[in-house]
């Protein structure tokens, strides 16, 4: 993962996680298989005591914690709003706050990199 702030990292992980195979990351299935500690589930306190290692990665983006527990609701909201606005062709920043604009610029940059590397 690139050296960037935590909020940005969570947003970037959210974007890439949305485009990855999420079938193996269902919480109930993971717990049933006993993987919550190995995958460093952020909702399990004991998991934070395990050694730091990458548990999920896609296209140069990685997380040392389960992406389902790492990604914030705010990151998902920005991602969903960005994708809807993009689908509807709404590219302007009128009425958006500074954090939303920053999030949308980050997402635009990541999607451009995704297209370039495809």
pLDDT digits 0-9 by tens, 60-69: 999 999 999 9
pTM value is 0.87
> What confidence tens digit (pLDDT) does each residue in 16-72 have?
999 898 888 999 999 999 999 999 999 999 998 999 999 999 989 999 999 999 999
Going from N- to C-terminal start, the domains of the chain cover 6-117
Long-range contacts of 41-49 (CB under 8 A, 24+ apart): 41/65, 41/66, 41/68, 41/69, 42/66, 42/69, 42/70, 43/69
């Amino acid at each position: 993962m690139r050296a960037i702030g935590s909020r940005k990292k969570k947003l970037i992980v959210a974007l890439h996680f949305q485009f990855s195979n999420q079938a193996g990351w269902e919480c109930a299935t993971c717990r049933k298989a006993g993987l919550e500690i190995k995958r460093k589930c952020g909702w399990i306190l004991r998991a934070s005591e395990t050694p730091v290692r990458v548990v999920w990665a896609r296209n140069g983006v990685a997380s040392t914690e389960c992406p389902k527990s790492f990604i914030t609701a705010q990151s998902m909201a920005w991602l969903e709003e960005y994708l809807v606005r993009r689908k509807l062709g709404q590219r302007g920043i009128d009425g958006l706050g500074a954090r939303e604009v920053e999030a949308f610029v980050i997402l635009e940059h990541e999607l451009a990199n995704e297209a370039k590397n495809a």
